[in-house]
Amino acid sequence: MTDTELDAVYTRLCKTMTELGEPRATLFLARFALLAIDRLGDAHAAQRLIDSAAEGLAPAATDKALP
Amino acid sequence: MTYEFAPYPFEAQRHAAKLPALRAGLEERRHPVVVVGGGPVGYTTALGLASHGVPVVVIEADDSVCSGSRAICISRRSLEIADRLGALPGFLDIGLPWTGGRSFYRDTEVLHFTMPQDENQKLPPMVNLAQYSIEQILLDKAETQPDLIDIRWQTRVTGVEARDDGVRLALATPEGDYSLQADWVVAADGGRSFLREALGLKLEGTSYEGRYVIVDILLDSDRPTERLAYFDPACNPGSTVLVHKQPGNVWRIDYQLRDGEDPDAAIQPENVMPRVESLLAMMGEKGSWKPIWSGIYKANALTLPSYRAGRVLFAGDAAHLVPIFGVRGANSGIDDADNLAWKLAFVVKGLASSALLDSYSVERVAAARENLSYGTKSTEFMAPPSFGFELMRTAVLGLAKKHPSLSSLINPRQTSAITYATSPLNAAAERSAEFPAGPVPGAVLPECPLTVADGSGTREGHLTDLLGPHFTALYFSEDGAVPAELESLDRALAARQVPFELASLTRRLGASSPHGWDHTGRLFPMYGAQPGTLYLVRPDGHVLGRWRQASAAEALAAIDHALQPPVKGV
């Protein structure tokens, strides 16, 4: 994939999410993740990607503290 | 609290209005070309026309070069154009060269990019200098040719009448009003082009809502010249900040307004100065500083669908508005001017039919669309237009340090020379396809060092030094011997008065005739060339056609196809 192709895919993703609207964005990204995992066809790689994507995000504890 | 502003380290000379010889309010002389707009694009067009010996009038509404913070980065391609126009030294003397930049997310560096730079280059990939300097350098050069370039200051276009056989402009000056007639008019009158409005032409594309504040400050700092981008920095959370060093201790700062901020209030000093102060503190700049200027910017990605409206030709911001991110504004306008000048000169001199001007529009509209696609991508990253872009940007910035392949998404995609891949002028596609390497028809020449031998001695040079206000045939050979066939091409074009130069490129240092010696051995492979190879190059440095084994007949046909010269003497 060239940089220009990556740009195009990125922009398509952003635009699609915008068209669907914010309330559906999370479900859209979940569906995209599932399709990407399926296409990847490699359980270990998928596990590692899940860890990488979670790394550095604020811990869930803060959210749990909310009422 | 009041803030003390400093002036720019530049004093603009004021120029008086003057009236030409008039008869009943109409200028007596009719002009072949009038350029409206004395900015970088207007002056580059005028210098280009003058290089072909075509006289030109430049109409400028103000009494001096511009002020404030506008274009600040001049690309290698623009420098090449300035070089051909004899205006390069000013850019290199004043401009600050740079090759790359850094982007930060909060306090982490997430991208360090560099622009293409290697030992083959004559010129840096980018220099920073203020637009008033850009205009002054071009103006200084224009003023050395008063017999060809007539600059009319404090002259405003108030009316246009475009006919099939010419254009009449109504002009207002403090000395009085008058009209003039021109065969051709170049509209280089900027983003709010009067001519574009008056002719009822509409820009098409997208206007973005995100706004940036632009601040120039005076600051003594020995920090190197590079593009700095701060995403969500501690000094201005939620915003994006860009920093560029300019000559004379001027620093240009661009920062994004947050959603809901009032643009009018945002440029008030009491709102601007604390943000600058906290940015400088974050950067570790401890020197004293003073504000010079501030303004507001909103990104547009717009173009006219055609840059030719009969005898009026649009160039620069009058033709297209590209976002500032990627520095394609002035640079694409300078490229417009370079493309237009030779074509207009050839038409004025009767060497080409006016159809050549349609190729100006086709090539430069395609270039604008390419510039807009990159500019749009950069803008959507720098000023996300919706929650989707915002969310994805946060994801990219958070992942880029550990996953460097994603950092290409942060790259500002700085301007680079554009290939006119679908130009109607491109010749002999099948011949071009036979090459293993090198620039295709429509591309600009990759740079390469040469030793220039002219019989009396040798000097170091570069390939682009061979270009000028003429078609150039680059003929590759062992030692500089040129076949009789190419001599006849030279004669055929001379008979038609088509400006043409044959430049000989050799593998070995030859004895006498002028030639460029490929002393590094890099030129031949870079161009996929062998002895007998011919590249035909347009006056604007784009390849017209190329032949692994030169064919004078096909080269002549390529030039005829490009010019479609009017039939003479029937």
Give kind and range of the element (H or E) at residue A34. helix A22-40
**Residues B83 and B172 reside in one and the same domain:** yes
B185: its two tokens: 């008019």
pLDDT digits (tens, 9 = 90+) for B382-433: 888 899 999 999 999 999 999 999 999 998 877 788 999 999 999 999 999 9
Chain A residues near residue B325 by CB distance under 8 angstroms: none
Among the candidates B314, B330, B358, a domain finishes at B358
User: Is B398 part of a structural domain of the chain?
Assistant: no
* Residue B468 predicted with pLDDT over 90: yes
Q: Are the beta carbons of B388 and A10 separated by less than 8 Å?
A: no
**Residues B75 and B170 reside in one and the same domain:** yes
**Residues B190 and B334 reside in one and the same domain:** yes
User: Is B285 part of a structural domain of the chain?
Assistant: no
User: Is B103 part of a structural domain of the chain?
Assistant: no
* Residue A63 predicted with pLDDT over 60: no
**Residues B352 and B437 reside in one and the same domain:** no
Residues in chain B: 570
User: Is B486 part of a structural domain of the chain?
Assistant: yes
* Residue A67 predicted with pLDDT over 50: no
Q: How far apart are the first and last CA of chain A?
A: 45
Domain hosting residue B46, numbered range: 22-97+125-201+302-358
Residues with Cβ within 8 Å of B436's Cβ and at least 6 positions away in sequence, in order, are B528
User: Is B111 part of a structural domain of the chain?
Assistant: no
Among B511, B504, B501, B505, which residue's Cα sits nearest to residue B456?
B511
**Residues B559 and B474 reside in one and the same domain:** yes
- Whether B208 contacts chain A with CB within 8 A: no
- Whether B293 contacts chain A with CB within 8 A: no
CATH number, position B456: 3.40.30.120
**Residues B83 and B196 reside in one and the same domain:** yes
* Residue B112 predicted with pLDDT over 80: yes
B190: confidence class by pLDDT, cuts 50, 70, 90: very high
- Selected for mutation to probe chain B from A4, A5, A10 (highest B CB count within 10 Å) is A10
Q: Closest chain B residue to A6 measured between Cα atoms? A: B409
User: Is B331 part of a structural domain of the chain?
Assistant: yes
Query: Complex ipTM, two decimals?
Result: 0.89
To the nearest whole angstrom, how far is the Cα of B327 from the nearest Cα of chain A? 18
CATH number, position B306: 3.50.50.60
* Residue B567 predicted with pLDDT over 80: no
| CA separation for the pair B77, B414 (Å, rounded) | 12
**Residues B46 and B170 reside in one and the same domain:** yes
Q: Closest chain A residue to B411 measured between Cα atoms? A: A3
DSSP string, B472-498: EEEEEESSS---HHHHHHHHHHHHTT-
Among A58-62, B32-36, B222-226, whose mean pLDDT is lowest?
A58-62
To the nearest whole angstrom, how far is the Cα of B243 from the nearest Cα of chain A? 24
User: Is B393 part of a structural domain of the chain?
Assistant: no
* Residue B249 predicted with pLDDT over 80: yes
Where on the phi/psi map is residue B274: left (φ > 0), alpha (ψ -120 to 50), or beta? alpha
Give percent of chain B with pLDDT exceeding 70.
99
Integer CA distances (angstroms), B74 to B65, B94, B317, B415, B442, in order: 17, 12, 16, 9, 22
CB pairs under 8 A between A and B: 43
Give kind and range of the element (H or E) at residue A10. helix A3-20
Give the mean model confidence (pLDDT) for residues B260-277.
Answer: 90
Among the candidates B314, B335, B358, a domain finishes at B358
Torsion angle of C-alpha atoms B192, B195, B200, B201, degrees rounded to 10: -70
Cα Rg of chain B, angstroms: 25
* Residue B208 predicted with pLDDT over 90: no
Going along B400-533, which residue ranges are E strands?
A: 449-453, 458-462, 471-477, 500-506, 515-517
Among A17-21, B92-96, B236-240, B341-345, whose mean pLDDT is lowest?
B236-240
User: Is B157 part of a structural domain of the chain?
Assistant: yes
Residue pair B178/B19 in contact by the 8 Å Cβ criterion: yes
B530: its two tokens: 């062998």
**Residues B345 and B452 reside in one and the same domain:** no
Q: Are the beta carbons of B391 and A18 separated by less than 8 Å?
A: no
- Selected for mutation to probe chain A from B387, B401, B411 (highest A CB count within 10 Å) is B387
Q: State the pTM of this model.
A: 0.94
**Residues B68 and B181 reside in one and the same domain:** yes
**Residues B31 and B131 reside in one and the same domain:** yes
Q: Classify residue B200 by its DSSP letter.
A: T
**Residues B346 and B489 reside in one and the same domain:** no
- Whether B391 contacts chain A with CB within 8 A: yes
Give the mean model confidence (pLDDT) for residues B161-187.
Answer: 97
Q: Classify residue B9 by its DSSP letter.
A: S
Among the candidates B316, B337, B358, a domain finishes at B358
Instruction: Give the nearest partner residue to A11 out of B380, B399, B408, using CB atoms.
Output: B380
**Residues B132 and B41 reside in one and the same domain:** yes
To the nearest whole angstrom, how far is the Cα of B378 from the nearest Cα of chain A? 10
Among A17-26, B108-117, B261-270, the range of highest mean pLDDT: A17-26
Instruction: Give the nearest partner residue to B387 out of A22, A53, A55, using CB atoms.
Output: A22
Give the mean model confidence (pLDDT) for residues B123-142.
Answer: 97
Where on the phi/psi map is residue B24: left (φ > 0), alpha (ψ -120 to 50), or beta? left
Say which amino acid occupies B494: A
Give kind and range of the element (H or E) at residue B152. strand B149-152
pLDDT of residue B412: 81
Chain mean pLDDT for chain B: 94
A4: its two tokens: 């220009």
Q: Number of structural domains, chain B?
A: 2
Q: 3-state class of B337 per DSSP?
A: helix
pLDDT of residue A60: 56
B397: its two tokens: 């910035």
